[in-house]
Chains A and B, each alone.
Chain A
C-alpha cells in the first residue's frame, strides 16, 4: 500500500453546513483557490442538486479552479447524480460523490428501505455516475453504526459497480479510535476487491474525536481523509485539516505517511475561512489558534 494520504476538503460542503456559515459564490471561489494553493487532492464544492445556488457554485468552481479534483455530492437518486454531472461538466478532473445510509436505524426510519433495496440502489447509482465521470466515490452513511457484514457486502458491490473511492463516515461522531481503526482493518480483511479502491474516512467531532478517529483509520489503511479548514462543519464540526496534516508531518517518524499539502498555506487558509464564514477560531485551537505558538 502507498504511503500517500489524500486530503479531501469539504469546507465548502460540510463546512458550509455550520449554523450561519453560508458563503456566497465569490467567497466559495476564493476559498477554492486557496485550497488549490494548499494542495488538497479533492475539493468537495457543494451538493449540486440541493439548490440553484449550490449548483452554480459547483459549476463555477469546476470551470474556474484548476488543479484539485472537483467533486459534487449527490444522494443515490438519478436526479441528484445527473445534477452533479451537469454542474461538473467541463472540469478537467471531476468526481461524483454519492451516498446512502447503511445503518439499520437510518434505513428503517429515514430511508424506509430494506438492506437489499439500498444495496441495489447504490449499485445502480454508482453505475449511473460512472456513465458521466470516471472518478466516483461512494459513502456508506452512518457506517460506524452499521453491521460490519452488511457494510462489507455494500462496499464490495459498489467497487464492482465502479466506485474508485469508498468512504466510511462516522456520521454522528460516535466512534472511538480503536474501534474505528478496527472497522477499517475489518474492511481491508473482508472485502475481496478492496485493493481496487481507496478507503476514505469522514469523521465528525461530537465527542472531540474526529481527528483521533481519522488518524486511527489512516494507521489501519485508509488513504483519504475528509476534513475541513478549522474543523468547521455540522454540529461540533468535522476533522480539522490542519491537525491531520500536521500530525502526519510532525510524526512522520512513527507514522511514515505523507500528504501533498503545502503546509505554509495552512494559516492563510484558516484566516480566510474564519473571515468569510464569521466562525472564529478558538485561541487554544491546535495549529492555527492565536496561542498555538505562544509560550
Chain B
C-alpha cells in the first residue's frame, strides 16, 4: 500500500480517518509476500491458489520448474512474476498453437548490425532462419514473420519491468493486425528480447485462432 505526504499521521492513528474501505476487504494485502529459490512446492501452490490460479498437478509441476529456473536468475520472486509464469507456461500453451519458439539468439550493440537467429515450430515442423533489422526486436520480428509466412502489422509495442530491480522480468505487450483482425500478444522473460519474440509469436497464434473463428458478435 502506498502512502505519501502529510496525512500519514492521521492514517496511522485511525485507519478510518481516510479509508472508507480496507484494502484487505477486496483482497489487496498490505504486505507483499516474496518467494525465493528455497520456497517449496507447497508454498508455491498455496500462493498461486490465493492469486486465483488452481492448476492441475501436471501444470503445477511445469509452472514450478519455471519458477525454480527463475528463482535461480533473480533473488526475489514476486506475485507479478508468478502471474507471468502461469500465463506464459500454462494458460497460453494449453491450446495447440501453430507457432512455437524453440531457440533464439540475437546480436546487437554499437558496433554490430542487429541480427537474429530463430528456430521455431510451424505446424509441428521445425524450421530455422536468420534475419536482420534496425534493432534486435526488428531483426527478430522480421525473421519470425519470414519463417511463419505471415504479413501482419505491428501496431503497438511496449515493454514493462513487471517488478522493481534490474533483474526483473520484462513483460512485452504487442498489438498486431492482419486482415482487419486485431489481437494482443504478451510474453515475459528476464531477457526482454526473448520476451519480445514470445509476445509476437503469441499474437500470431491468436491471429490464427481468430481467423478460424468466424463469428457473429451480438451487441447487447
Residue numbers of A with Cβ under 8 A of B are 14, 17, 19-22, 24-27, 30, 33-34, 37, 47, 50-54, 73, 75, 99, 139, 141, 169, 171, 202, 234, 242, 246, 249-250, 263-269, 271-272, 275-279, 287-288, 290-295
Cα of A269 to Cα of B184 in the assembled complex, Å: 20
Which of B114-122, B124-132, B212-220 interfaces with chain A? B212-220
Cα of A241 to Cα of B196 in the assembled complex, Å: 33
Cα of A205 to Cα of B24 in the assembled complex, Å: 27
B87: CB under 8 A from chain A? yes
Task: Return the CB mask of B168-196 against A: 1 if under 8 Å, else 0.
Answer: 00000101000000111110000000000
Cβ-defined contact, A278 with B2, below 8 A: no
Chain B contact residues (Cβ within 8 angstroms of A): what range?
35 or more
Option from A25, A51, A99, A288 in Cβ contact (under 8 Å) with B218:
A99
A67 to chain B, nearest CB (A): 13
Query: Chain A residues with Cβ under 8 A from B220's Cβ?
Result: 14, 73, 99, 139, 141, 169, 171, 202
Cβ-defined contact, B19 with A268, below 8 A: no
A13 to chain B, nearest CB (A): 9
A272 to chain B, nearest CB (A): 5
23 contacts between A and B (CB under 8 A): A19-B182, A20-B175, A20-B183, A33-B54, A50-B215, A53-B209, A141-B218, A141-B219, A169-B220, A171-B219, A234-B219, A250-B20, A266-B27, A267-B26, A268-B51, A276-B91, A278-B173, A278-B184, A287-B21, A287-B26, A288-B26, A291-B2, A295-B5
B8 to chain A, nearest CB (A): 7
Residue numbers of B with Cβ under 8 A of A are 1-5, 7-8, 11, 18-21, 23-28, 50-54, 79, 83-84, 87, 90-92, 94-95, 173, 175, 182-186, 206, 209-210, 212-220
Cα of A277 to Cα of B206 in the assembled complex, Å: 12
Cβ-defined contact, A242 with B1, below 8 A: no
A51 to chain B, nearest CB (A): 4
Query: Chain A residues with Cβ under 8 A from B94's Cβ?
Result: 24-26
What is the chain B residue whose CB lies nearest that of A242? B26
Option from A47, A278, A295 in Cβ contact (under 8 Å) with B217:
A47
Option from A234, A265, A272, A294 in Cβ contact (under 8 Å) with B53:
A272
Option from A250, A277, A295 in Cβ contact (under 8 Å) with B7:
A295
Cα of A280 to Cα of B37 in the assembled complex, Å: 29
Cβ-defined contact, A268 with B52, below 8 A: yes
Q: Among B54, B84, B209, which residue has the most Cβ atoms of chain A within 10 A?
A: B54
Cα of A49 to Cα of B116 in the assembled complex, Å: 43
Cβ-defined contact, A50 with B4, below 8 A: no
Cβ-defined contact, B83 with A271, below 8 A: yes
Cβ-defined contact, B209 with A271, below 8 A: no
Closest 5 CB pairs of A and B: A267-B27, A26-B94, A294-B2, A278-B184, A268-B52
